[in-house]
Amino acid sequence: MTVDNSGTQPRDIEQLNFDRLPKSRAILDRAKKVLLSPTVTGPFRAPKAVAFVKDAKGSKVWDEDGNEYVDITMAYGPLILGHSHPVAVDAIRDACDKGTVYCIAHAPEVEMAELMVDAIPCAERVAFANSGTEATMHALRIARACKGKEKIAKFEGGYHGVHDYALVSSILADPTGPIEDPLSVPDNPGIPQGTVDQVLTLSFDTKESLDKIRKHKDELAAVIIEPVPSSYLVDMREFLQELRDVTRECDILLIFDEVITGFRLAYGGAQEYFGITPDMATYGKVIGGGLPVGAVAGTQEAMKPLITTGDAIQDFQEKLLTIGTFSGNPLTMTVGRAVLAHLRDNRQIYDHMRGLADRIKAEVHNFAEANQIDLRLIGLESWFIPHFVPSDPKTPRDLRDIADMMRQEILCQYMRYHGVYLPDLHTVFMSAVHSEEDADKIIDAFKKSLLEMREDGHL
Ligand SMILES: Cc1ncc(COP(=O)(O)O)c(C=O)c1O
């Protein structure tokens, strides 16, 4: 599809998308009366054109009006095998026939935990939940109980979901304090000041963060970090190793939030990829095979506050409650088990995804450079974000300062018009089912979008 721009007027890309979405538009009008947002990303912030998905298969989604997109959102990460992969669908059918939730012991949960313990270096015990948010919430409480200390440290711009502790300084829009010693600030109204006071905020990849941990070691139960920060997709392996060393030296638990990186960066996640083993790690996304899931995995020592003694009364008084009606349900466990076993037995999937991402990055970079466009696709392995930046950012604050967010938003509209669903949060995920042909379409959509953005005065 090429936009006709034979006249002198710049295109109105939002209007063009609006015009081809009549059925979606009608649903959007209804949605605005009853929902807060038609997507996961917050309030109605794309007022003009919102595509509602009707169907999805493999690497494609179709909206209600029949427009086809190569999906590079992949539900923000879980769909490592693409939409409705036979491995997942067969497992869902199989599990549905046997009942979807019991709250009684069942083998698929054990088998899923066994797969995780085999794959994840730090995992000796696993506890299941229903989302990444729940997983990090449990992990922080386990750490406090394990160490008998109250504070936790996290990183400015580090995302760990939406519970109270997680929503302290997770958004980089308005960082407070010097980069060497950022302040803890609530990201939302409604976060108790008492919680904010229990969070020590650090900066990624600075020596001062290590000093700050040492200084507060007697109060700190844990440091939680995304091994690849979703706001800043760079390889910080030296810093991760330093963090491992300092937390060990200070008797503080190190928690890797592997909700995205788990089973994506490599089969064994960031721990295998970087060769660094934390005390605990949190999971979600990929391990559910497309169904809601969360999990905490950790060493025997770190998970001690959960491990039952066999004495029911004592356990009830002393052990943490990570229970949940749907936690470890047989449907999710059966699907997750099937998907993880498939990944374990087909490691070439990781090479395939990396190959596609590398080709897209290289070809788009070459094109952008040849046309003097400051676009960089920044990321690792099968995961990247297009940023309009004149140079490689040195820190997340630097990225926030130099990146043109408005252009990113506009790029989404052009990409979608050209049949590639670039998500609102701009994070791109490749899957096992994306093909070289899909990569051609993605590259082509980037090229057309960038040229048209320039013609229309956006670049
Ligand atoms: C690193 C990280 N932690 C936690 C979460 C929260 O997971 P969920 O959306 O399943 O609650 C996310 C979600 O994107 C994430 O990227």
Ligand 1 atom showing the smallest separation from residue 136 Cα:
4
137 contacts 145 by C-beta, under 8 angstroms = no
What would the two tokens of residue 198 be?
A: 């229990």
> Does 35 share its domain with 111?
no
Per-residue pLDDT of the chain (459 residues; tens, 9 = 90+): 445 555 568 899 999 999 999 999 999 889 888 888 777 766 666 667 889 999 999 999 999 999 999 999 999 999 999 999 999 999 999 999 999 999 999 999 999 999 999 999 999 999 999 999 999 999 999 999 999 999 999 999 999 999 999 999 997 767 688 999 999 999 999 999 999 999 999 999 999 999 999 999 999 999 999 999 998 899 999 999 999 999 999 999 999 999 999 999 999 999 999 999 999 999 999 999 999 999 999 999 999 999 988 888 888 888 998 889 999 999 999 999 999 999 999 999 999 999 999 999 999 999 999 999 999 999 999 999 999 999 888 888 888 889 999 999 999 999 999 999 999 888 999 999 999 999 999 999 999 999 999 999 999
**Residue 147, token pair as written in the block:** 């160490």
Residue 4 resides in a domain:
no
Q: What does pTM read for this prediction?
A: 0.96
Residues 6+ apart with CB under 8 A from 394: none
Closest to 289 (Cα-Cα) out of 345, 334, 330, 256: 334
The whole-number pLDDT of residue 3 equals 52
What local confidence, expressed as pLDDT, does residue 21 receive? Answer: 95
One domain, residues 151 and 163 = yes
Q: Could you tell me if 264 and 364 lie in one domain? A: no
**pLDDT at residue 44 in the model:** 66
Question: Looking at the structure, do residues 293 and 437 belong to the same domain, yes or no?
Answer: no
Instruction: Kindly give the residue spans of alpha helices, DSSP state H, lying in 73-198.
Output: 86-96, 107-119, 132-147, 193-196
d(C-alpha 72, C-alpha 55), whole Å: 15
Helices (H), 216-279: 237-249, 269-274
User: Do residues 226 and 160 make contact, with C-beta atoms less than 8 angstroms apart?
Assistant: yes
- Would you call 159 a catalytic residue per the annotation? yes
User: Do 358 and 236 belong together in one domain?
Assistant: no
CA of 259 to the centre of ligand 1 (A): 6
What is residue 219's predicted lDDT score, i.e. its pLDDT?
Answer: 98
**CB of 359 within 8 A of CB of 439?**
yes
Domain that holds residue 411: 13-83+347-455
pLDDT at site 430: 98
| pLDDT at 312 (0 to 100) | 84
Give residue 29's identity as a one-letter amino acid code.
Answer: D
pLDDT of residue 400: 87
Do 232 and 327 belong together in one domain?
Answer: yes
SS3 state at 206: coil
Task: Please check whether residues 74 and 128 belong to one and the same domain.
Answer: no
> Which ligand 1 atom sits closest to the C-alpha of 285?
10
Question: 242 and 113, same structural domain?
Answer: yes
Edge-first strand order for the sheet with 428-429 is 375-380, 383-388, 428-429
Among 256, 260, 383, the mutation site with the greatest number of ligand 1 atoms within 8 A of its Cβ is 260
Burial class of residue 65, CB neighbours in 10 A (0-12, 13-18, 19+): middle
Question: Residue 98 has what DSSP assignment?
Answer: T
Domain harbouring 417, CATH code: 3.90.1150.10
User: What CATH number corresponds to the domain at position 212?
Assistant: 3.40.640.10
CA 362–ligand 1 middle distance (angstroms):
28
Query: What pLDDT shows up at residue 6?
Result: 54
46 and 135 together in one domain = no
Helix count and strand count (H, E) for the chain: 15, 14
Q: Which of 345, 361, 392 is the endpoint of a domain? A: 345
| pLDDT for residue 394 | 83
Strand pairing category for 253-257 and 280-283: parallel
One domain, residues 223 and 297? yes
Distance of CA 457 to the CA centre of its chain: 32
Last residue of a domain, one of 321, 345, 369: 345
- The answer as to whether 293 is a domain residue is yes
| 294 vs 306: CA distance, rounded Å | 16
pLDDT, position 7? 57
Q: Is residue 176 part of a domain?
A: yes
Q: Which residues pair with 253 in a beta bridge?
A: 222
Residue spans of beta strands (DSSP E) within 44-198: 53-57, 60-63, 68-71, 125-129, 151-155
Is 3 among the domain residues? no
* Residue 155: how many other CB atoms lie within 10 Å: 27
Q: Which residues line ligand 1 (CB under 6 A)?
A: 76, 131-133, 136, 159-161, 226, 230, 257, 259-260, 284
Domain assignment present for residue 2? The answer is no
Judge whether 285 counts as a catalytic residue: yes
pLDDT for residue 318: 87
Question: How many structural domains compose the chain?
Answer: 2
Report which ligand 1 atom has the smallest distance to the Cα of 161: 6
Q: Please calculate the CA angle 379-381-386 and round it to the nearest 5 degrees.
A: 30
Confidence at residue 4, expressed as pLDDT on a 0 to 100 scale: 54
Out of 345, 362, 395, pick the residue that ends a domain: 345
Amino acid at 74: M
Q: Whose CA is nearest to atom 4 of ligand 1?
A: 160
> Candidates 163, 230, 259: which one to mutate for ligand 1, based on the most atoms within 8 Å of Cβ?
259
The residue type found at 298 is G
> Does residue 366 lie within any of the structural domains?
yes
Q: Which of 69, 159, 273, 350 is catalytic?
A: 159
Question: Are both 294 and 352 inside the same structural domain?
Answer: no
Asked, for residue 45, whether it belongs to a domain, the answer is yes
Distance CA 26, CA 102 (A): 39
Relative to the CA of 134, which ligand 1 atom is closest?
11
Residue located via tokens 């905020």: 201
336 and 360 belong to one structural domain? no
User: Containing H/E element for 208?
Assistant: helix 207-215
In this structure, the chain runs to a length of: 459
**Residue 5 is assigned to a structural domain of this protein:** no
Q: Tally Cβ neighbours within 10 Å of residue 87.
A: 17
DSSP assignment letter at 83: B
The closest alpha carbon to 73, from 431, 433, 446, 428, belongs to: 428
Q: Active-site residue among 71, 257, 424, 438?
A: 257
